[in-house]
């Protein structure tokens, strides 16, 4: 089961007193958004600071779009680069 990197809770969203954003972040599951637990990529995450889903690292895929590409070209990343 995925846990918040700041407090160890299995909850998503607001309520983490140890996080700088006061939101739980689960970085250990590359299949789900670290902020909300959704399997989606792109816009629509109400808990993310950028309003975009960002998945946990792993599986050699971009955390913002799921592409196997590297370097520039990710329309969902705040840096416009594929981030793994």
Q: 3-class secondary structure for 72-84?
A: ECCCCCCCCEECC
User: What's the pLDDT tens digit per position in 49-79?
Assistant: 999 999 998 889 999 999 999 999 999 999 9
Q: Which residues contact 5 (CB under 8 A, 6 or more apart)?
A: 25, 26, 27, 28
pLDDT top residue among 9 and 28: 9
pLDDT of residue 76: 96
pLDDT of residue 19: 95
What DSSP string runs through 13-24?
EE--TTSTTSEE
List the structure tokens of 21.
């954003």
Mean pLDDT across 19-40: 95
């Amino acid at each position: 089961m995925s846990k918040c990197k700041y407090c160890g809770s299995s909850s998503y969203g607001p309520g983490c007193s140890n996080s700088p954003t006061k939101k739980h972040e689960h970085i250990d599951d590359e299949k789900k958004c670290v902020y909300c637990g959704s399997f989606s990529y792109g816009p629509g995450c109400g808990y993310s600071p950028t309003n975009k889903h960002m998945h946990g690292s792993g599986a050699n895929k971009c955390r913002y779009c799921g592409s196997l590409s590297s370097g520039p070209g990710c329309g969902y990343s705040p840096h416009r680069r594929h981030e793994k």
